[in-house]
Amino acid sequence: MYFLLLKYVHIYKVESWSVQNITTQSNLKSVFILLATNMPKQWEAMIDIMDGNPSWCFGKHYQIIKQLEMVGKCEDRFGVPNDLQLPDLFLLPHNLRRLKISCPNLLNDEDPMPTLGSWLTFLNVLEIGVKSYTGATMTCPSGGFPDLYNLVLHDLDIEEWILEDGAMPKLRIVTLCKCTKLKALPQGLQQLKELKKVKVIAMPELDQVQCYLLHKAGREVIIRSSEEDFEHVQIPKDDR
């Protein structure tokens, strides 16, 4: 039996589910499935089915290697009544090692970094891209992301990135691509003792003073003009 009047489907922590169990009937406004475990071919089939819906997001959870990839597309707001904000970042597994968020408008304009930095204390790799976050300022507070070593920011509209003293102490690699409104790199990068490499791609308007200072301090600074030189965080093909 199909729920023909159903508009919002938001499900958390799914261990087993089937593509055939989801209908794309016209009343459906948004589908949000977080922490679901499936093989890649099933995900591909699900994405094909949902392509015509206005808002959908799936959190593909690779439990053994503690990785979560959030993909999809959303309206300006994620199609939920009473202005409920999704996702609740505190529902993410505390022991995640890798997190990739590639779902336009999912995080809206509320800066995710303070919550992610304090909650995901074991996180090693983080990519936020494709306008998942739509705010103008991104702040990484002191003490946040204590184990993060690789940060990727791709196609965001941030104008200012603040890196407070004591944030991301183990960060080694930073990649910025197509964040064309960002005016300058944060001065806090100079204080990161573990920082080895900074990549700046397709950002012609960026003030390169910090790039020069980082290079002068012995860090490898790579500047490229084409987005073709950008590489996403690598996602495994299965949960083994």
197 shares a domain with 113:
yes
Q: Is 80 exceeded by the pLDDT of residue 141?
A: yes
117 shares a domain with 36:
no
Work out how many domains the chain is built from and give that number. 2
What is the domain range of residue 202?
95-229
Task: Please report the pLDDT score of residue 38 as a whole number.
Answer: 59
Indicate whether 236 belongs to any domain: no
pLDDT tens figures, 24-62:
555 666 777 776 665 556 666 666 666 666 677 778 777
The model's pTM: 0.86
In terms of C-beta density within 10 A (0-12 exposed, 13-18 middle, 19 or more buried), how is residue 20 classed? Answer: exposed
Indicate whether 240 belongs to any domain: no
Task: Please report the pLDDT score of residue 237 as a whole number.
Answer: 53
Q: Is 60 exceeded by the pLDDT of residue 216?
A: yes
Indicate whether 21 belongs to any domain: yes
Say which residue, 21 or 173, is predicted with more confidence: 173
216 shares a domain with 139:
yes
pLDDT tens figures, 65-89:
788 888 888 765 554 443 445 567 8
